[in-house]
Amino acid sequence: MINPLTERDYEIFIARCFGQSLGRIGLHHGISAERVRQIVAKCLRRLMKAERNWAAAERACARIQAECMAKRIEQWARIVEATKQDARLPVLIPPTFLTLDELDLPVRVSNILRNNGKETLEQICQITPNEFLRFRNAGRVSLRNLRDELDLINAPHNLGKAAEISSHTETEP
């Protein structure tokens, strides 16, 4: 990023930040105290604008990364569907090193898994329905959402089918 301040403005701004008086800074640079105040105010405005632009750029970059990740998951799901329809091709299993952030899970399900130390696809696929339902804030809908997402990418899991999930209304203490 290009520095939005000139060298002189930067020196004046830094001197003011270190507590030097407006008059003393003005004498050193050959300008009035009022002009020093104006330069400091201008520097603050420019820095705040640069910070807003930087934050906006970071948000845009994060959004683009999330869209790319979602497209990768979507492409994987399409490939899996194609291999399921063609009996000649082997059934593809997604890589187990995929992280929780790379999976397109609902926020609630992601938070439940993250809070219980399940960060990779391999760890998630080993969870049983009873184990998942014992997690704090986990319920049948969250379990169904997780199962559906894992089925979409053809990940082997122990979460059972839809009929089995409805029978797990009671959780063990």
Model confidence, pTM: 0.43
Given a contact cutoff of 8 angstroms between Cβ atoms, the answer to whether 122 and 96 are in contact is: yes
d(CA 150, CA 113): 13
Quote the pLDDT of residue 119: 84
Residue 173: per-residue pLDDT: 46
Domain segments of the chain: what residues?
7-85, 107-166
- Tokens standing for 88? 């000649």
**Cα 127 to Cα 53: distance, rounded to the nearest angstrom:** 43
Regions of the chain short of the pLDDT cut 70: 1-4, 57, 60-61, 64-65, 68-69, 80, 83-97, 161-173
Question: Taking the chain, what is the end-to-end CA distance rounded to the nearest angstrom?
Answer: 56
* Residue 159 Cα to chain centre, angstroms: 26
Given a contact cutoff of 8 angstroms between Cβ atoms, the answer to whether 110 and 137 are in contact is no
The matching CATH number, chosen from 3.40.50, 1.10.3470, 1.10.150, 1.20.272, for 107-166 is 1.10.150
Expressed in percent and rounded to 5, the helix, strand and coil fractions of the chain are 65, 0, 35
**Quick one: pLDDT at residue 32?**
94
Report the alpha-carbon distance of residue 112 to residue 56 in Å, rounded: 29
